[in-house]
Structure 1
Amino acid sequence: MPYLVGEPPDPGIVVLAAKGVGVYAAFCGALDGAHGHLSPMERARPPVDLAVAEGCGGLLIVAYGAAERVTPYVDALMLTARERGVNIIDALRVTGGRYWSYTCASPTCCPPEGTVVDVDGSPVPAGAVLRGIAPVRPPRVPPAELRRVRALLAPVGGPERAAVGAAAEAFALRVRALSEDTRVARGTAAVRAAADAEGLPGREDTARLGVHLGHLRVRDRAWSAITADTAPRHRDLWGHLVRHLPDRWRAAPAALTAVAAWQQGDDVLAMAAVETALAADPGYSMAVLMGRALAWGLPVERWRDSTGE
């Protein structure tokens, strides 16, 4: 595992997808943190769906943590894989330096007390050294990248943010009296105009856009308009809203910023924007979906292929 995913998360799940004679992809997800509220079945579908889409025929599941914590996730993965016709090569649990198999019931092979993970007695490290293979190092974000992300997402100082917030509250009271269809039509028009305009919106327009994005149908139309070509504009526009709007209105533009950054291959900004959205609105569904796509390594091409749908 250290040569495939680095230090495995604990508690967490690693899923290796096999294609041909080797590992085709490795999916790694912690069970705590931003995605801890998702059910086992919600966590199981993305890696299995991606494995099927890529033509992988088998999965090796390795869970790290106490049995009561990880077993529901292993069960969900195994059930989902079998429903999709994917072979389970093996499913293991690693706890306290020992491992157990979920698929083997033979006490001679897999004793009830578990099997010691004997790193020192394994030929794998020596073989890796001979081949010049090193364990995967945990990702480290350079200071310059952190400064760049903060500049794109950190709230503006001074009275400006409060003024935008007041304007947003006043506009929200006005649009509340409109019909559903009128709100969606006006919001969609405002979003399209802002995306096509040059420069960044002023205080009043920033406030109005923030309120419009609070309507899910308007937000989704903005979401579907983000393509590889339009991503830079959307990143700058929605990032501007993130910096100027109060927390009540930040989740939607932050999630849109994440999608735009992901389209550009900027995973550092994308994940930071997801965290910003979830900090403003824990459980915000679009941010949760985007976070799952990033955590499981969903290829951006797969999103582009489905945007017409």
Structure 2
Amino acid sequence: MNSTDLPRLTVRSPADLIAAVPYLLGFHPADSIVVVALAASRIVFAARGDLTDDADTQEASTHIAAVTAQQGADSATVIGYGPAIRVTPALDAVRAALTDAGLTVLDALRVTGDRWWSYVCTEPECCPPEGTPYDPRASTVPAAAVFAGQVALPDRAALAAQIAPVGGAEMRHAAERAEKRLTGLLAAAPPTDLLGGRALRSAGLAACRAARRRHRSGKQLTDDEVAWLCLLLTHLPVRDHAWERTDGRDEDVAFWTELLRRAEPELIAAPGALLAFAAWREGQGALAAVALERVLTEHPDYSLALLLDDLLRRGVPPSRLDGWPASGLPKQPRRRRSRRRPPR
């Protein structure tokens, strides 16, 4: 599921709403259930879930309805994308769950190919049984969304491709050099510096500042700079220093995206979680979700990723935590059991 701080788009018809959904999510959904929630006449929340098997439909519907109800919404429209045989049971379950949660269901739509059907309207003049053809290009919504800086990628896979790894042998060699450099740093720390904590923090802060300056200047970080910073970010005081200086700016998203893509798998936990935080703060819930998926696949016990994943799944908007993490950390969720060794 993903949620966003949504752009203001004027929607006057079901076709307009269908045209708006890809820009609300960040990509064109397929085999999905989407809930668009409103407070009065303003869209305040959009969430997407995969179409699930019958055994999982009820649980997924209850969850998405509960999350939607927490957004201050009073009504919602449900849209299913896919063939009728899969969409109809999911639509029925989500409609019932939303009603049980106290929300008015304004409409329930199925989109299959280039046609849509309403499960609420029974008037053949406006909702014919063979479906209503639609062309997103006939709506003013896509143009307004693009003008507002919104992007709709072809699908979720295209979004995940934006953070796919691009490292190689040279990056692996850089990671090995970073390990040797770290060994030397700790060996040179004075006896009064317990476990080299001060030396690690000092080196980490310097590496963060240098990397951000280089990135802001438009220069690409070297393999050694990426490997050294990512290794130092496994030291929590360094990670937290970087976290407190990460917000919802485009610059933050671009910076952490570069580090996540280039880092070795054992070092992606911190940059991936920090990218998710920056994307969430910027209102790019879908990007935050795919970043967290990548992190938790490699490091299922990484606490910051679990915390952010919990926020996204509960649909917590970034505005509710303005000033965080400097203002204090919320309670972190329980760690998942795993045989994998968590990152340092």
TM-score between the two structures when normalised by the length of structure 2: 0.50
Contact 1:255-1:274 at 8 Å conserved across structures: no
Give the match for residue 11 of structure 1. 31
Aligned to 1:58: 75
Per-residue deviation, residues 171-218 of structure 1 (Å, max 9, x unmatched): 89xxxxxxxxxxxx98899569735763149588536435447xxx99
Q: Name the counterpart of 1:260.
A: 278
The equivalent of 1:74 in structure 2 is 91
Counterpart secondary structure, 2:247 = coil
Residue 127 of structure 2 corresponds to residue 117 of structure 1: no
Deviation at 1:31, TM superposition (A): 2.8
Which ranges in structure 2 are unaligned for 5 or more consecutive residues?
1-13, 23-27, 154-160, 184-194, 212-223, 331-344
Contact in 2 for aligned 1:59/1:87 (Cα 8 Å): yes
Q: Within the alignment, does 1:228 sit opposite 2:247 as a pair?
A: yes
**Equivalent residue runs for 1:10-29 within 5 Å:** 10-20=30-40, 22-25=41-44, 27=46, 29=48
Separation in 2 of the partners of 1:12 and 1:305? Answer: 34
Deviation at 1:249, TM superposition (A): 2.4
CA contact (8 A) 1:48 1:77 kept: no
Q: When the two structures are aligned, how many residues end up with a matched partner?
A: 262
| Post-superposition offset of 1:59 | 1.6
Structure 1: gaps (5+ residues): 142-148, 173-184
Q: In 2, Cα distance between the equivalents of 1:91 and 1:15?
A: 9
Cα distance in structure 1, aligned partners of 2:249 and 2:116: 50
Aligned partner of residue 16 in structure 2, secondary structure: coil
Q: Which has the higher contact order (CA 8 A, sep 6+)?
A: 2
Cα pair 1:251 1:278 within 8 Å, conserved = no
SS of aligned partner of 1:9: coil
Residue of structure 2 in register with 1:250 after alignment: 268
The answer as to whether partners of 2:38 and 2:76 remain within 8 angstroms in 1 is: yes
The answer on whether the counterparts of 1:44 and 1:80 sit within 8 Å (CA) in structure 2 is yes
Cα distance, 1:164 vs structure 2: 0.7
Structure 1 residues 227 and 188, CA gap change in structure 2 (3 angstroms): farther
Summarize the alignment of residues 1-309 of structure 1 with structure 2, pairs less than 5 Å apart.
1-6=14-19, 9-20=29-40, 22-25=41-44, 27=46, 29=48, 31=50, 41=59, 45=63, 49-50=67-68, 52-53=70-71, 55-71=72-88, 73-74=90-91, 77-78=94-95, 80-95=97-112, 97=115, 99=117, 101=119, 115-119=129-133, 134-136=140-142, 139=151, 155=166, 159-165=170-176, 190=200, 194-195=204-205, 198-200=209-211, 205-206=228-229, 208-209=231-232, 211-212=234-235, 225=244, 228=247, 236=255, 238=256, 241-242=259-260, 244-263=262-281, 265=282, 267=284, 271=287, 275=290, 278-279=293-294, 282=297, 286=305, 293=312, 299-304=317-322, 307=325, 308=328, 309=330
Distance verdict in 2 for CA 1:198–1:95, change over 3 Å = closer
Q: CA 1:262 to 1:58, structure 2 compared with 1: closer, same or farther past 3 Å?
A: closer
One-letter code aligned to 1:85: G
Q: Distance in 1 between matches of 2:32 and 2:107?
A: 17
Give the superposed CA RMSD: 5.8
Amino acid at match of 1:29: R
Query: 1:38-85: CA deviations, max 9, x gaps?
Result: x654576467535543x3211221212234533564355345434532
Q: 1:270-293, CA deviations, whole angstroms, 9 ceiling, x for partnerless residues?
A: 82x764664565487738956995
8 Å contact kept, 2:67–2:314: no
Q: Are 1:14 and 1:63, in contact at CA under 8 Å, matched by a contact in 2? A: yes
Whether the 8 Å contact between 1:10 and 1:65 is mirrored in structure 2 is: yes
More moved, 63-72 vs 274-283: 274-283
What is the distance in 2 between the residues matched to 1:73 and 1:190? 51
Which whole-Å CA distance do the structure 2 matches of 1:222 and 1:283 have between them? Answer: 23
2:75 maps to amino acid: G
* Structure 1 residues 252 and 198: alpha-carbon distance in aligned structure 2, compared to 1, 3 A threshold: closer
In 2 relative to 1, CA 66–259 (structure 1 residues): closer, same or farther, beyond 3 Å?
A: same
Tell me the SS of whatever aligns to 1:115.
coil
Cα separation, 1, equivalents of 2:68 and 2:198: 32
Partner AA of 1:164 in structure 2: A
CA distance in 2, matches of 1:211, 1:261: 21
Q: Which amino acid aligns with 2:81?
A: Y
Output the CA distance in 2 between the equivalents of 1:267 and 1:158.
Answer: 32
Q: Quick one: which amino acid aligns to residue 194 of structure 1?
A: G
